[in-house]
């Protein structure tokens, strides 16, 4: 089921409600993926469907921060051709230096195939998009669902892509 994600955080059925000027369309495939991974949950009170995000929306301020990333060359750390709904992964300088220092060549190669940090990149809600699929890094959000942690059920973390690119220790973002 396709949904509209509105600027005020509401999520509504795309078939039953009209898009607002600043809503983001989430197609069936991406909705299924986000629901399956627990990022959004569908509720039905017997009369109508309602969706809720299970993540805190701290990243919204970063979308309006035009000083992110601080260095324009940070965009070079992104792979070409990212589309909304693509899985991405990344790692920091610390992980890379540890593997180099320990002489773990296999681990270094695995960083690109199975990075320690992973998530799904999507258009930010209520941002005008020029291409329905192609991601504009300045107007996108990464929903991080995999990271090194010792919890059974880690929380999904939302972040503006530009916030991640602003991290000086970020080595590279790869498309998985």
Higher pLDDT, 38 or 118: 118
For the chain, where are the E strands, in sequence order?
Answer: 3-5, 11-13, 24-26, 40-44, 49-53, 86-92, 117-123, 140-146, 157-160, 170-175
* Mean pLDDT to the nearest integer, 111-130: 88
68: helix, strand or coil: coil
Query: Residue 54: what pLDDT?
Result: 52
Determine the average pLDDT of the residues in 27-41: 73
106 phi and psi angles, rounded to 5 deg: -65, -45
122 band by pLDDT with thresholds 50, 70 and 90: very high
Mean pLDDT across 58-79: 86
Q: Give 88's pLDDT tier (boundaries 50, 70, 90).
A: very high
């Amino acid at each position: 089921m396709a949904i509209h994600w509105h600027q005020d955080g509401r999520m509504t059925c795309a078939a039953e409600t009209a898009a607002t000027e600043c809503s983001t369309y989430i197609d069936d495939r991406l909705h299924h993926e986000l629901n399956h991974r627990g990022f959004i949950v569908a509720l039905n009170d017997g009369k109508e469907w309602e969706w809720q995000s299970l993540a805190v929306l701290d990243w919204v301020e970063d979308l309006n921060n035009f000083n992110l990333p601080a260095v324009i060359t940070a965009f070079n750390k992104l792979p070409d051709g990212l589309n909304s709904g693509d899985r991405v992964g990344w790692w920091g300088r610390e992980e890379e230096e540890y593997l180099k220092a320990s002489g773990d060549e296999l681990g270094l190669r695995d960083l690109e195939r199975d990075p320690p940090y992973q998530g799904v990149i999507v258009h930010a809600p209520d941002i005008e998009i020029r291409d329905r699929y192609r991601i504009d890094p300045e107007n996108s959000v990464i929903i991080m669902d995999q990271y090194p942690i010792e919890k059974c059920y880690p929380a999904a973390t939302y972040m503006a892509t530009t916030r991640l690119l602003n991290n000086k220790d970020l080595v590279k973002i790869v498309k998985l």
